[in-house]
Chain A
């Protein structure tokens, strides 16, 4: 500002700048109070649960809290290739005895069994000995415990206990990628025939990719038709596009089950027109085909709507200009119309891909074994194995994956170019 500028005063002598700011501040507070409930809602329903999920996925305090004396004693265990000293055995015995009195020893057995197979047997053996009071606490506990089972004499089992010492662990995340912490603390791969998660991740990406592709190829002409038809037809078509959108997801998936099953309508039709023989009906459900078909249909509106909103804004005179300037209809489409729809394509594809990658109910119902996705695995651990920390870890990995895809997309197309309508 130039030095000549005079400070403007209001009639009461307060500088105008100050009094304007005051008025602005009031408005800002009002505006904030209006959005505050939503902000609070977001924090409670979104940020807080994600934080909780993260804590759960890395939380490994159970063993830490159950075996405090053991871990204290293990600090003095120097040569990890040899069995720990007597103090460790004593610490473990005392911890375990306390757990046994509180009926908590079973949990520890299961938890350690996950870390190293065979733990459950030997801790139960120890429990029976304690119950029968067969252990002489004044003598060497190392000798007595070692005598119970040969596995107690195997240093790997003690190393496994030591691995559970830190209160926080990334082991769930490694497990989600079919890896684990080896005995020496390095990261190792699960045996090839037991790698299930990596297959699931890849299959999730594959299915999401192809569903997006199918949606694009089917949605693009529909959206174009919607944008160019006269109002009375386009409204009808729009309702046709939206009608499934308004129908319950479960109902739609169930109807696909009716259509696609081996004795279903689609198969009946194929048999009728002689495409397949009656005793050789193809399986279109409980495999990838079912997942593809049902998910494409369900996610189609998410592709059509952004495309439609973009196409609606493209003046028909642009195509005409392209043609009148000498472009064949294809050239006019490819050089003029198509590039202008890219924001819609970007928005539609991103939307469908991100929805597909976390899809649960449809693959669960029609996917069978070969058509399930990572989210089904998460649900399995939530409901069946009750390994919530693992489910949380995989959920967060999925979230991270989505964010990475968003980031890549932003680099390639630019989020500013997205148009959702």
Chain B
């Protein structure tokens, strides 16, 4: 079966609630069949609106949404055949787990035996066999979440939408549910559109991530690329931790550019700067800067330790470096650990490839 690369297609979609502000601007997004795509962004960035438009609870102000080549903007939600997992689970509190799962099948007039079979299969997928007669209120948060996932999958929808489904769970449970959902996706190959504001969740689960801000997709790429190669300073800031330097480009060639800071100069990788004199924000991941670099790195500075915070698997060090006291360093907790003390002076180095000169903040 060949996969349709444009299984779900947002074609120049605009959305405005009040006719004044566009919450989604000219959205162009293709989702491949069987893909796990995450819409990631801060609240108010338009990601949930996109999901609601896909589910049919909101209509686009402009543009079309296509599902498998068919325009669905005028199809009511119940005819779209899209499964949805809601933020607060939205399990029907007056029905048992079995009845909740049977609901989408019963409205489709599926036979009794078939319903039993499918419910059983869906429950075993989320390892909740034997919970058929429980009421939702008798389940823990994690179990309710699994029932909600099973209910969204039980009628074999082409697309499953998940609207911050793990938001209400505690950290450990959230992490194990992330893997579980990922595995379910891998085993049944359904197309998943997942909305979250939690970047680590997005990185863990997705094939591709669409970072939303201000109604626009800022970057659409796979998790590794998103983390390693953010295309603008919003993405760099939003995904993972980041050290930034604001300055002005004073020299530029293909691979390197020289950025003048308040009282020093650094070498950086020119991503969105083209010419001399441009303002830029240089972004550097904390784990890419090393203490006492052994190999030759093209950025070498020395700074003073302001704060040392023990984090178990790593230690965070805050430095006063290049005139900023907010420079963060992540030191892995290895056996050859350094003695890090406040007020100590240390040497720091990084490669200019990792320092990305992006658009100015």
Contacts and interface: CB of A to CB of B under 8 A. Distances in A.
Interface residues of A, number: 19
B92 A321 contact: yes
A377 to B, nearest CB: 43
Contact of A323 (B77, B93, B151): B77
A258 interface: no
Interface string B79-114: 111111011101111100000000110011000000
A402 interface: no
A326 B104 CA distance: 6
17 contacts: A320-B55, A321-B90, A323-B57, A324-B55, A324-B80, A324-B82, A325-B83, A325-B84, A325-B103, A325-B107, A326-B104, A326-B155, A327-B78, A327-B103, A335-B92, A335-B103, A339-B94
B92 to A, nearest CB: 6
A282 interface: no
B86 A340 contact: no
Interface of B: 55-57, 76-84, 86-88, 90-94, 103-104, 107-108, 151-152, 155, 161
Interface in A292-329: 315, 317-318, 320-329
Given A315-B90, A320-B77, A321-B91, 6 more contacts: A318-B90, A323-B77, A324-B55, A324-B161, A331-B107, A332-B78
Contacts of B77: 320, 323-324
A58 interface: no
B94 A340 contact: yes
Given A331-B107, A335-B103, A336-B92, A326 B78 contact: yes
B78 A324 contact: yes
Given A326-B155, A328-B78, A332-B78, A318 B92 contact: yes
A335 B94 CA distance: 10
B77 to A, nearest CB: 4
Contacts of A315: 88, 90
A326 B161 CA distance: 14
Name the prevailing secondary structure of the A interface residues. Answer: helix
Interface of A: 315, 317-318, 320-329, 331-332, 335-336, 339-340
A317 B107 contact: no
Nearest to B161: A324
Contacts of A329: 76, 78
A318 B91 CA distance: 7
Contacts of B108: 326
Contacts of B84: 320-321, 324-325
B86 A325 contact: no
A50 B107 CA distance: 54
A33 B208 CA distance: 68
Contacts of A321: 84, 86, 90-92
